Amino acid sequence: MPRKSAETAAQIMMEIRRKGIDVYDTIFIPDVVIELGSKQGFFPLWEHIKKKKGMLFYVIEANSEAELKENVKILDDIVLSKKSEYLGSEVSDGNIAKWFYTEQGHWQFYHNLWGMFPSMQPLSAECFCPIHMFPQVVKDVDQWDIEHNEDMQKIFNITKIRPISGTGPIPLVDGNNVEVTAGFLSFWKYYEGELYEFIQEANIKLWKSLLKLMIKYGLQYYMMGEFMSRLMVEIGAYSEEYYNCMKSIKKVLDPKMILSRGKYNFWEGETS
């Protein structure tokens, strides 16, 4: 992708939707994943590329060979018109889409942000987002990392590896939405035989801060565990009417509030 890779990827995805082309996958890989992954030797298929910018690949669905060729031409024209570079048809050329499917690379790839360093704790902020908004989300997450460098450095002083934040692969999903695999990696409080309560406290503080940052866009988190569901209530992400509606449904289906205790701050024995 060219210099402003996230903005370009968003333009391409919106054009795909405007053209009404069926795509099985369209996935954008942000600069931070390419840069960090390349330094660690995770992407040997891109070693020959000098400028480590964002990547985008797509896989097309079609009902005939003729339809397939026509859609390939339309999509290629869209992508190349945005000053993007075609890497080639083979994995050895850098064709990650071919590796992704023909060599079962998707099992290794999707959560590469989380798996970049083993044994680190993934603190996810994964969400759905309108296509046109995700470049700004990517920028804000990068800026968030800079603004919270002091807390990150305190963890680094113990572990000698800095927590990693950013956005992972961004797939085009239903309608005009993408899935933003954002979040950060940190260490568990038990590190090399010692218990560091500070690390756990810093992780929670940083996680809450990142989630609050992204909620301002009206993004929808899709993995509502205990922590995230309670946080959404605590920061006022739901209107009173909507929250009371959820509680009413919960009381009908689970009147004793014993299933998934505490999610959305629904507690056993509540009567109000």
Same-domain status, 22 and 92: yes
What pLDDT score does 184 carry?
87
Three-class secondary structure of residue 6 per DSSP: helix
Residue 271 lies in a domain: no
Residue 258 sits in which domain range? Answer: 227-265
The answer to whether residue 116 is domain-embedded is: no
CATH code of 87's domain: 3.30.70.3450
Least trusted range by pLDDT, from 115-119, 178-182, 251-255: 115-119
Cβ neighbours of residue 250 closer than 8 Å, sequence gap 6 or more: 257, 264, 266
Measured between alpha carbons, how far is 94 from 22 in angstroms, rounded to an integer? 24
The domain boundary, picked from 60, 81, 109, lies at 109
**pLDDT (0 to 100) of residue 135:** 94
* β-strands 164-167, 55-60 pairing: unpaired
Give the model's pLDDT for residue 41: 79
132 with 174, same domain: the answer is: yes
Distance, CA of 227 to CA of 203 (rounded, Å): 12
Using the predicted structure, report yes or no on whether residue 144 has a pLDDT greater than 90: yes
Domain-embedded: residue 235 = yes
Q: Does residue 91 share a domain with residue 67?
A: yes
Q: How many domains does the chain have?
A: 3
* Residues 126, 193 share a domain: yes
Per-residue pLDDT reduced to its tens digit, 109-125: 666 666 666 678 888 88
Q: Would you state the pLDDT for residue 66?
A: 95
Residues in the chain: 272
Residue 30 DSSP SS3: coil
Measured CA to CA, the distance from residue 263 to residue 272 in angstroms comes to 16
Is the confidence at residue 271, as pLDDT, over 60? Answer: no
Beta-carbon contacts of residue 41 (< 8 Å; ≥ 6 apart): none
Q: Are 2 and 8 in contact (CB under 8 A)?
A: yes
Phi-psi region of 226 (alpha: psi -120 to 50; beta: other; left: phi over 0): alpha
Distance, in Å, from the CA atom of 32 to the CA atom of 142, rounded to the nearest integer, reads 9
pLDDT at 168: 84
98, 153: one domain: no
Report the pLDDT value the prediction gives residue 242, as an integer from 0 to 100: 94
What is the pLDDT of the chain when averaged over all its residues? 87
Do 89 and 14 share a structural domain?
yes
Nearest CA among 39, 151, 140, 57 for reference residue 95: 57
- Tell me whether residue 272 is in a domain: no
254 within some domain = yes
Can you give the C-alpha Rg of the chain in angstroms?
A: 21
